Structure formats: structure tokens, C-alpha cells
């Protein structure tokens, strides 16, 4: 509760005037009472002064409390701002991480799609090349090609000696089938080469126009084929492997 000092001072002034008037115009007995009253007033003024000091101290304490309250409010506001900043940074980091993950997923999906497309493209290319190679070999096939294949077979019999000898034990004859009749010279060379591996086993030559150009040798259950189709299969398989591995350059067929 604040004190109205103006009112207090006005009352004091009025009282002092009254005292002066009483001292001037009344009797001395009254002056004694006045002196007593002055002492009382002095005491009250002391009390008023002490009250004023107490009020000043209370006001100072109030100001200090206000300042502390303001400081606490500022500190609280700063903490709130810091927490809000941390939450914002966390949300931004989470959003960035999610966007990065989505980007990585998209790149992985794109890579898978590209790999699938490339694989399909290679497969289509291999199939097309297979058809072209097969068509080309069939178009180029003639008696000379078949003769070359038959003579090529001679060099392939040596590693097959054991298989030929085993099959000959259960065969009455060997049959060499070609698409068209072989020239006599080629027939003799094939016959001599087989006789060197399985002596005493007769060799009969036959033709089959439904068979692709080349030579198929049968000994009982053993069948060995060196034909355009078998060469085409080997060539295409090699091309597929090269395409799948991304290799480039010249691709050579082997005469298996």
C-alpha cells in the first residue's frame, strides 16, 4: 500500500499552522499541551519516516522481484526458442534423411529397371543374332561346307578314343550321317580316322536331308554331332555370355 505523501505533508503543514496560532493567541497552559502534541507529532513523523523507508525498501524489493521475474521470463522464452529450434532441426534432418532414402530407392529402382531393360535388350539381340547366324550358315551350307566339317571331325576323334572304344563294344557298326553324300575322299579319311580309334568296327555312311549340314556319328547309344545347328548353338551361347558380361569386340566360334 503506497502512502500519499502530499496529503501527509499538507496535514503536517496545517497542524504546524494551528500550533503556531495556538502559541500566539492562546494561553500558556494550552502551549504546554501543544508542546506535548508537537512531541507526539514528532514521534509520528518519525514513524512516517520509518514507514517511508519501509515503503522504499518494499518498492525496491518489488522492483527486484519484477526484474527477476522478467529475467525468468526471458530465460523461459529463450529455452522455448531453443527447444523449438532443436525440434525444427530434428524435423528438417528427418525430412532430409527421408528424402535421401527415397532418392536412393529411386536410384536403385532405376538401376534395376535399366538392368532389366539391358538384359531384355541383350536377350532380344542374342535371339535375333541366333536367327541371323543360323540363317547365314544354312544359306552358306553346300557340299564343300559339309566336306570341311567332316574333315574337321577327324581331328576331334582323338580325345574321344575311350568313349568310342566303350561304345563300340555294344555296337555292330558305326553310322556317319550327312545332309548330302560326302565326296569319296572325305569318306575315306573319316573311315580311316575312325578305324584308328576302334579297329574292326564297320562304318556305314548315310544321308538325311532333314538333318542340318554336317556329320552325325552314331555308335550304338553314343551319338556325336558336328552340324550347322550344333555350331550355331555353340556360337549363340558364346555370344549370349559375352553380351551378358558386357564384353565387346570380336567373338570367335570354337569348333567343339
| Per-residue pLDDT tens digits for 110-119 | 888 877 776 6
pLDDT band of 223, cuts 50, 70, 90: very high
Q: Let me know: does 138 contact 228? Beta carbons within 8 Å.
A: yes
pLDDT over 90 at 247, yes or no: no
Q: Which residue has the higher pLDDT, 132 or 255?
A: 132
φ, ψ at 61 (rounded to 5°): -65, -40
Q: What is the pLDDT of residues 18-60, one digit of tens each?
A: 766 666 666 566 656 667 777 777 787 888 788 788 878 878 8
Which cell numbers hold the place of 66? 519484477
**Average pLDDT of the chain to the nearest whole number:** 77
Q: For residues 83 and 249, what is the distance between their CA atoms, to the nearest angstrom?
A: 64
> Which residues are within 8 A (CB) of 228 and not within 5 positions of it... i.e. 6 or more apart?
134, 137, 138, 141, 145, 212, 213, 214
Mean pLDDT on 158-180: 91
Q: Which helix (H) or strand (E) holds 176?
A: strand 174-178
Query: Is 0.85 topped by the overall pTM?
Result: no
φ, ψ at 215 (rounded to 5°): -140, 135
pLDDT over 60 at 129, yes or no: no
Neighbours of 31 (CB within 10 A): 15
pLDDT over 70 at 168, yes or no: yes
pLDDT over 70 at 61, yes or no: yes
Q: What is residue 75's predicted lDDT score, i.e. its pLDDT?
A: 84
Listed in sequence order, the DSSP H helices in the chain are 5-25, 28-140, 143-154, 161-168, 184-197, 228-245
What percent of the chain clears pLDDT 70, i.e. is strictly above it?
71
Mean pLDDT on 72-87: 83
pLDDT over 60 at 254, yes or no: no
Q: What is residue 34's predicted lDDT score, i.e. its pLDDT?
A: 63
Amino acid at each position: 500500500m503506497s502512502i500519499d505523501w502530499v496529503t501527509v505533508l499538507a496535514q503536517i503543514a496545517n497542524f504546524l499552522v494551528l500550533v503556531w496560532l495556538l502559541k500566539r493567541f492562546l494561553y500558556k497552559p494550552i502551549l504546554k499541551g501543544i508542546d506535548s502534541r508537537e512531541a507526539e507529532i514528532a514521534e509520528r513523523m518519525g514513524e512516517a519516516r520509518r514507514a517511508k523507508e519501509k515503503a522504499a525498501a518494499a518498492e525496491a524489493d518489488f522492483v527486484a522481484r519484477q526484474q527477476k521475474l522478467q529475467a525468468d521470463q526471458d530465460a523461459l522464452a529463450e529455452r522455448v526458442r531453443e527447444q523449438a529450434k532443436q525440434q525444427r532441426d530434428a524435423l528438417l534432418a528427418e525430412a532430409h534423411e527421408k528424402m535421401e532414402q527415397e532418392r536412393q530407392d529411386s536410384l536403385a529402382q532405376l538401376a534395376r529397371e535399366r538392368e532389366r531393360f539391358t538384359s531384355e535388350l541383350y536377350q532380344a539381340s542374342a535371339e535375333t543374332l541366333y536367327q541371323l547366324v543360323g540363317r547365314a550358315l544354312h544359306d552358306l551350307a553346300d557340299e564343300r561346307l559339309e566336306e570341311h566339317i567332316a574333315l574337321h571331325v577327324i581331328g576331334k576323334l582323338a580325345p574321344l578314343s575311350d568313349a568310342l572304344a566303350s561304345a563300340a563294344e555294344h555296337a555292330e557298326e558305326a553310322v556317319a550321317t550327312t545332309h548330302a553324300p560326302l565326296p569319296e575322299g572325305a569318306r575315306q579319311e573319316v573311315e580311316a580316322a575312325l578305324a584308328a580309334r576302334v579297329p574292326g568296327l564297320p562304318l556305314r555312311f548315310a544321308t538325311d536331308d532333314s538333318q542340318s549340314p554336317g556329320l552325325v556319328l552314331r555308335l550304338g547309344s553314343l551319338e556325336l554331332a558336328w552340324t550347322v545347328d550344333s555350331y550355331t548353338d555353340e556360337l549363340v551361347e558364346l555370344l549370349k555370355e559375352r553380351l551378358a558380361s558386357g564384353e565387346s569386340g570380336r567373338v570367335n566360334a570354337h569348333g567343339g
